[in-house]
């Protein structure tokens, strides 16, 4: 429930901004702000990891630092605030936790979605979708590093490495967009 409450409050705030962003930009901002990475970062800033009960196995594999666990815990806290105090208390709590992230995203454009942008660009220019392939995995299961390449019609456009497959895909898409931008300049 907490994820829905967070999403509602973030969307409401973004919708009421006086900057009149197009719907597509608002959707990208919301998607970024409710992402696992942002939620985990916020959970870290309030030391939520200290209050999570974990099983021995999860504890021994570094569960306190896992983004998925931290983001789920923050969602649970917001859900509990909503159930106990109602929407206004939940709104107040979300703003306290998210204010800096929201302002930072608006100021920096940090919410940019490289994978969506690449998909839209390749569909428009080439009528084809990019394909992401994991070309290398390294490390132990709980400390894997992924190398992903993005291809278009068999041609490699970008390669990147990340701690999660999705992170590597995003970075590869960013490199692919940079490469396509260079081609556009020629």
Q: Which of 72, 75, 113, 169 is catalytic?
A: 75
Q: What is the pLDDT of residues 44-90, one digit of tens each?
A: 999 999 999 999 998 888 888 999 999 999 999 999 999 999 999 99
What length is written for the chain? 186
Domain 2-108 has CATH 1.10.1520.10: yes
3 is a catalytic site residue: yes
Per-residue pLDDT reduced to its tens digit, 93-115: 999 999 999 888 887 666 767 88
pLDDT beyond 70 at 185: no
- Residue 63 and residue 110: Cα distance in Å, rounded? 27
Instruction: Please tell me what DSSP assigns to residue 127.
Output: S
- Assign domain 114-185 to its CATH architecture: 2-Layer Sandwich (3.30)
Question: Which residue ranges make up each domain of the chain?
Answer: 2-108, 114-185
pTM: 0.64
Cα diameter, the chain: 60
């Amino acid at each position: 429930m907490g994820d829905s409450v967070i999403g509602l409050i973030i969307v409401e705030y973004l919708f009421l901004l006086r900057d009149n962003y197009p719907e597509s930009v608002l959707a990208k901002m919301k998607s970024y702000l409710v992402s696992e990475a942002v939620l985990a970062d916020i959970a870290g800033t309030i030391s939520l990891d200290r209050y999570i009960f974990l099983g021995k196995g999860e504890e021994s594999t570094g569960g306190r630092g896992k983004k998925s666990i931290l983001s789920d815990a923050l969602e649970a806290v917001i859900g509990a605030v909503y159930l106990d105090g109602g929407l206004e208390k939940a709104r107040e709590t979300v703003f306290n936790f998210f204010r800096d992230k929201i302002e930072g995203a608006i100021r920096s454009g940090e919410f940019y979605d490289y994978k969506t942008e690449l998909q839209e660009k390749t569909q428009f220019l080439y009528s084809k979708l990019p394909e992401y392939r994991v070309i290398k995995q390294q490390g132990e299961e709980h400390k894997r590093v992924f190398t992903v390449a993005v291809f278009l019609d068999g041609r490699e456009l970008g390669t990147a490495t990340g701690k999660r497959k999705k992170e590597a895909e995003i970075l590869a898409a960013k490199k692919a967009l940079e490469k396509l931008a260079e081609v556009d300049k020629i």
